[in-house]
Structure 1
Amino acid sequence: MEMPELVRKCAEKELFSYCETKVPPCFRNEVRVNFRIEGETATLYEERITLANPANWSWRPVAQFRFQIELNQWSLHYPVDRDSWRLYLNAGPTLNLKSLLRAVDDDPFNSFWQ
């Protein structure tokens, strides 16, 4: 199921703004922070050039935000590996995606930025 269009547009705006501030412009040829939205899920990920071939980029998941349509709120999840996620219990579900982005940065457990 797809998230409502207005929710998606607001999420895109928040995530784009967040990604733009994470890496200084002078390093963006080596590191990028980006996101993708699929269905009810927004995934934040980091891209880096590979040492073996600087023309190639590798990526790793950073955080996942899941929108629950029935409750009209977001939940935050951290990566266990590339394809599985766990609910981040240090930040409860919220209507405010921006507060979950702050939780990603303020994480005392280093669940996101490793």
Structure 2
Amino acid sequence: MELPELVRKCAEKELFSYCEGKVPPCFRNEVRVSFCIDGEAVTLFEERITLANPADWSSRPVAQFRFQPELNQWSLHYPVSRDCWRLYLNAGPTLNLKNLLRAVDEDPFQSFWQ
């Protein structure tokens, strides 16, 4: 199932702003933050240039936000492996994606930015 159009547009706006502000301009040729929307899930990635070939970028998942349409809420998940996610219990479901982005940055358990 896809995100409702209004939810998608709001999420994209919030995430574009977050990604743009996450890395200072002087480092954007080496590292960047991006996201991908797949159905009702949004995955946040950290991308870095590879040492073998600076023209290539490698990415690693940082966080995943899942929209629950029946509750109209987002939940936050952290990566266990590239394809396995666990619910982040330190931030409950919320209507406001910005709250979960803040939880990613304030994470005392270092579940996201390692």
* TM-score, normalised by the number of residues in structure 2: 0.99
Which position in structure 1 is the counterpart of 2:27?
A: 27
Superposed structure 1 runs of 4+ greater than 3 Å apart: none
Aligned-residue offset at 1:38: 1.0
- Give the match's secondary structure for 1:55: coil
Q: d(CA) in 2 for partners of 1:2 and 1:50?
A: 33
**Contiguous gaps of at least 5 residues in structure 2:** none
What value does the CA root-mean-square deviation take over the aligned residues?
0.4
Paired-residue identity, %:
86
Q: d(CA) in 2 for partners of 1:100 and 1:92?
A: 9
Aligned-residue offset at 1:66: 0.1
- Give the match's secondary structure for 2:83: coil
- Give the match's secondary structure for 1:53: coil
- Give the match's secondary structure for 2:81: coil
**Contiguous gaps of at least 5 residues in structure 1:** none
* TM-score, normalised by the number of residues in structure 1: 0.99
Aligned-residue offset at 1:35: 0.4
Q: d(CA) in 1 for partners of 2:45 and 2:32?
A: 9
1:113 aligned to 2:110?
A: no
